[in-house]
Amino acid sequence: MTTGPITGSAKGYLDLADVRGGRVPYRRVPLADGRHVDLYDSSGPYTDPDAVLDVDRGLPPRPGVIGGLGTQLQRARDGVVTAEMAFVAAREGLRPRLVRDEIAAGRAVIPANHRHPESEPMIIGRAFRVKVTANVGTSNLASGDSTLEDMVWSIRWGADTVVDLSTGRDGDRILRNAPVPVGTVPLHQTLETVQGDPAALTWEAFRDTVVEQAERGVDYMTVHAGVRLEHVPLTAGRVAGIVSRGGAIMAAWCLRRRTESFLYTHFDELCDILAHYDVTLALGAGLQPGSIADADDAAQFAELRTIGGLAKTAKARGVQVMVEGPGHLPLHVIADNVRLLDQLSHGAPSYAYGPLTTDVAPGHDHIASAIGAAVTAQAGTAMLCCVSPKEHLGVPDRAGLKEAVIAHKIAAHAADLAKGHAQTQQRDDALSRARFEFHWYDQFALSVDPDTARRAYEVSNSVGPAKLAHFYSLRISNALGHIGEQST
């Protein structure tokens, strides 16, 4: 497990006077000129050299966490600024009332199960910094500890939440050590209880899994309740069929049973369970297109309309809800898709894998995805789900997981800049200033990946001064003192 400070920065905490025991983490990057830049920090105690880490005991619970008083949505509607709202307001550098109002309107969520006090609250919504999430536990061979390592590794590089796809094998171990919200797809674990046969699934088996996971502290659950029996035939003419695993399972269930989806028919009951724990509902796009060819088709839109209605129902029952956007879209339809999803879901925050903007990038799918992710986030998508370089070829290794997180952090950052986020711009400006003044180590520390930046520089340097001399000789010998290194 990789722990310790991120190169070139130190962990700091902002004490919240008005929140019992709350302290908001950040990363401080000291600069050569004596100033510093403070960065949003999702990495948890794992980057704090003073933290006592014991994965068998788990992280210490955050003090001041009070559960059982309803969901963040219900409390926001009552006009309350909860401890979690105060925490994320400080973290985002915004007023607590703005946070409360966005949550009350259903335009943002704080995924914070009452039973996951180890988590540092964060917010997902278009008025806030664009978030990034990473899948962990994707490998059958993975032990609980390797899933835990993947989680710590993902948040080290900036993942704001993780989705644990290990189907519950070691879910408690992840949750007790997770300083970020943990999402799941409970249908996956349920399927294992019925020996992998979709037709054997029942509402009761699903409900039991949901309750078990909610008790454990899962913060948000992806549920493909928008896949209805009548939608399934709409996918018949597709090039890539149904690529969402949850969507495919539910489509199989509906077809074999010739019955409406139990997720749809028991939706109210599901909402009431989620509300009890304040589990945030993520309405998964089970019929999202799996290729450029299938983008914007009838199945996608039919499900989308259903999801919009379900989002409304969930919010009416006090459940925090977010909705999934499509994962494969050509560039020119992305912004329209975001607008439509926003409209049909009555402003619920949205998240998306990618979208991948072309199908021809296997081995480099993180780039095809980062392009779409930046554009969709600029248009309002609130959280980006990481697509790894070999997304369609196999499960990512450690290096691939990092590549995926970094690519989507860059996309999120580019979107934040485009949305006019002031703190984001400060970081870019500080880095540009460091570059201009040849403060190389400031550059590394301010980058999304200090280790890679530094290594790249040192490799070039080690080749000999002659090689680098060409690179910036002109910067040194010019009239302005300002001659650049780049391009032509």
* Residues 150-169, interacting with a second copy (CB under 8 A): 163, 165
Separation CA 53–CA 60 (nearest Å): 9
Contact pick of 23, 169, 266, 435 for a second copy (by CB under 8 A):
435
**Which element (helix H / strand E) includes 101?**
helix 96-104
Which is closer to a second copy, CB of 78 or CB of 145? 145
Which is closer to a second copy, CB of 313 or CB of 452? 452
How many residues bind a second copy (CB under 8 A)? The answer is: 125
Which is closer to a second copy, CB of 103 or CB of 178? 178
Which is closer to a second copy, CB of 55 or CB of 340? 340
CA 29 to chain centre: 24
Which is closer to a second copy, CB of 82 or CB of 146? 146
52 belongs to the binding site for a second copy (CB under 8 A): no
Q: What are the helix (H) ranges across 354-464?
A: 365-378, 398-418, 422-436, 440-446, 450-462
What residues numbered 289-318 form the site for a second copy, per CB under 8 A? 290-294
Query: What letter would DSSP give residue 100?
Result: H
Least separation in angstroms between residue 230's CB and a second copy is: 15
Which is closer to a second copy, CB of 74 or CB of 166? 166
- Provide CB contacts within 8 A for 218, sequence distance 6+: 113, 116, 164, 171, 175, 182, 183, 184, 186, 279
35 belongs to the binding site for a second copy (CB under 8 A): no
E runs forming strands in 72-200: 108-109, 124-125, 131-136, 161-164, 182-184
392 belongs to the binding site for a second copy (CB under 8 A): yes
Least separation in angstroms between residue 435's CB and a second copy is: 6
181 to 42, 80, 111, 217, 395: CA distances (angstroms)? 10, 22, 6, 9, 22
Which is closer to a second copy, CB of 139 or CB of 313? 139
452 belongs to the binding site for a second copy (CB under 8 A): yes
Which is closer to a second copy, CB of 276 or CB of 435? 435
Contact pick of 69, 199, 298, 316 for a second copy (by CB under 8 A):
199
Least separation in angstroms between residue 125's CB and a second copy is: 19
Least separation in angstroms between residue 246's CB and a second copy is: 6
Q: 314, 310, 307: which is closest to 272 by C-alpha? A: 314
Which is closer to a second copy, CB of 87 or CB of 128? 128
Residue carrying structure tokens 């619970």: 61
Contact pick of 327, 347, 349, 380 for a second copy (by CB under 8 A):
327
The window from 86-94, 124-132, 144-152, 428-436 that contacts a second copy (CB under 8 A) reads 428-436
Separation CA 192–CA 241 (nearest Å): 23
Separation CA 20–CA 31 (nearest Å): 32
Contact pick of 172, 208, 296, 359 for a second copy (by CB under 8 A):
359
Q: 129, 109, 133: which is closest to 121 by C-alpha? A: 109
391 belongs to the binding site for a second copy (CB under 8 A): yes
What residues numbered 223-262 form the site for a second copy, per CB under 8 A? 232, 235, 238-249, 251-252, 255-256
Contact 385, 353 (CB under 8 A): yes
378 belongs to the binding site for a second copy (CB under 8 A): yes
444 belongs to the binding site for a second copy (CB under 8 A): yes
Separation CA 238–CA 245 (nearest Å): 16
